[in-house]
Structure 1
Amino acid sequence: MKTTISLLFLAAIYAFPFESKKQSNGVERMCSDNIAGLYLDIVLVFDSSDGVGSSVAFNDEKGLVLPLLKTTIQISQQIPQATRIAYMTAGTDATIINDLVDFGSVKEAYAGLMKLKYNPKAGYTLNIGRALFKADYLLNSQKRDPTRNQNYKKVIILFTSETDVDCPDNMLASSEVCRTAAGIKNGGTEIMTIRLNFQESGPLSPTGISSPCASFDNDGKVHENIRKSLLRLNCYCISPFVKYIRATDACFASADCVYFEESATTYNSARETAAESNALLVTIRTKEKQSYISKFTRIPMQMHIGLNQLRNASDWQWESGPDASQGYTNFAPGVITKSNSCAYMDTRSEWRNEDCDGNNLPYIFETEACSTSNFCF
Structure 2
Amino acid sequence: MWLDVVIIIDNCKIASTNLVYETILSLFDKNLQIGTGYADPRSTRVGFITYNYNATDVADFYKLQSYDDLKSQIQRLKMTPLTTTTVSRMDTALYAAMNMINSTAGFRDNYKKVVIVFTNVHGTYKSNPPKDVSKSLQMKGIPVITVNTGSSSDTQSWLKNIASTNMAFAIYDGNVTQEIQKAMTDINCYCNSGWIQYTWPWNVNQKAYGTCVYAPNVQSNREGAKQYCHQNYHNAYLVNELDQQKRTFNFAVLNSMSSSPVNAFYNGLINLNNVWFWDQPDQKPLQPLDPNSGAPPARAACVADMKYSDGTTAWTPVSCVNNFHFLCEKVACDTDNYCEYA
Fold match (TM-score > 0.5)? yes
Residue 328 in structure 1 maps to residue 289 in structure 2: no
Out of 310, 334, 346, the position equivalent to 2:307 is: 346
Tell me which residue corresponds to 1:371: 334
1:148-177 deviation per Cα after TM superposition (whole angstroms, max 9, x unaligned): 63201111111121359xxxxxxxxx9732
Distance in 2 between residues matched to 1:51 and 1:254, nearest whole Å: 41
Distance in 2 between residues matched to 1:244 and 1:88, nearest whole Å: 34
Q: Secondary structure at the match of 1:192?
A: strand
Distance in 2 between residues matched to 1:78 and 1:303, nearest whole Å: 48
Residues 62 and 323 (structure 1), Cα distance of their counterparts in 2 relative to 1, 3 Å cut: same
Structure 1: gaps spanning 5 or more residues: 1-37, 165-173
**Letter paired with 1:353:** T
Tell me which residue corresponds to 2:143: 190
Q: Secondary structure at the match of 1:327?
A: helix
Q: Secondary structure at the match of 2:42?
A: coil
Q: Secondary structure at the match of 1:366?
A: strand
Q: Could you tell me how far 1:75 is from its partner in structure 2? A: 0.5
Tell me which residue corresponds to 1:169: none
Identity level (%): 23
The answer as to whether partners of 1:87 and 1:97 remain within 8 angstroms in 2 is yes
Tell me which residue corresponds to 2:283: none
Tell me which residue corresponds to 2:93: 131
- Relative to the length of structure 2, the TM-score reads 0.83
The answer as to whether partners of 2:88 and 2:122 remain within 8 angstroms in 1 is no
Report which stretch shifted further, 362-371 or 285-294: 285-294
Q: Could you tell me how far 1:45 is from its partner in structure 2? A: 0.6
- 1:183-262 maps to which residues of 2 (within 5 A)? 183-198=136-151, 200-201=153-154, 204=157, 208-218=161-171, 219-247=173-201, 250-262=205-217
Q: Secondary structure at the match of 1:261?
A: coil
Q: Secondary structure at the match of 1:188?
A: coil
Distance in 2 between residues matched to 1:350 and 1:205, nearest whole Å: 45
The structure 1 segments of at least 4 consecutive aligned residues displaced by more than 3 Å after TM superposition are 117-120, 198-207, 320-328
Residues 293 and 175 (structure 1), Cα distance of their counterparts in 2 relative to 1, 3 Å cut: farther
Distance in 2 between residues matched to 1:207 and 1:196, nearest whole Å: 13
Tell me which residue corresponds to 1:275: 230
Tell me which residue corresponds to 2:278: 318
**Letter paired with 1:142:** T
Q: Could you tell me how far 1:346 is from its partner in structure 2? A: 2.7
Tell me which residue corresponds to 2:46: 85
* Count of matched residue positions in the alignment of Structure 1 and Structure 2: 320
1:89-116 deviation per Cα after TM superposition (whole angstroms, max 9, x unaligned): 1122111111110111001111111001
Distance in 2 between residues matched to 1:258 and 1:121, nearest whole Å: 50
Distance in 1 between residues matched to 2:302 and 2:43, nearest whole Å: 46
Report which stretch shifted further, 224-233 or 187-196: 187-196
The answer as to whether partners of 2:299 and 2:317 remain within 8 angstroms in 1 is no
Distance in 2 between residues matched to 1:349 and 1:280, nearest whole Å: 26
Q: Secondary structure at the match of 1:75?
A: coil
Distance in 2 between residues matched to 1:282 and 1:43, nearest whole Å: 36
The answer as to whether partners of 1:308 and 1:318 remain within 8 angstroms in 2 is yes
**Letter paired with 1:179:** D
The answer as to whether partners of 2:35 and 2:64 remain within 8 angstroms in 1 is yes
Report which stretch shifted further, 336-345 or 367-376: 336-345
Residue 94 in structure 1 maps to residue 55 in structure 2: yes
Residue 68 in structure 1 maps to residue 31 in structure 2: no
Q: Secondary structure at the match of 1:74?
A: coil
The answer as to whether partners of 1:76 and 1:105 remain within 8 angstroms in 2 is yes
Residues 319 and 162 (structure 1), Cα distance of their counterparts in 2 relative to 1, 3 Å cut: farther
Tell me which residue corresponds to 1:293: 250
Distance in 2 between residues matched to 1:122 and 1:77, nearest whole Å: 36
The answer as to whether partners of 1:264 and 1:361 remain within 8 angstroms in 2 is yes
**Letter paired with 1:325:** D
Q: Could you tell me how far 1:352 is from its partner in structure 2? A: 3.3
Q: Secondary structure at the match of 2:215?
A: strand
The answer as to whether partners of 2:122 and 2:155 remain within 8 angstroms in 1 is no
**Letter paired with 1:261:** P
Residue 162 in structure 1 maps to residue 121 in structure 2: yes
- 1:146-161 maps to which residues of 2 (within 5 A)? 146=106, 149-161=108-120
Distance in 2 between residues matched to 1:87 and 1:150, nearest whole Å: 20
Distance in 2 between residues matched to 1:288 and 1:91, nearest whole Å: 48
- RMSD of aligned alpha carbons: 2.8
Structure 2: gaps spanning 5 or more residues: 281-285
**Letter paired with 2:100:** L
Distance in 1 between residues matched to 2:68 and 2:262, nearest whole Å: 55
Distance in 2 between residues matched to 1:291 and 1:209, nearest whole Å: 33
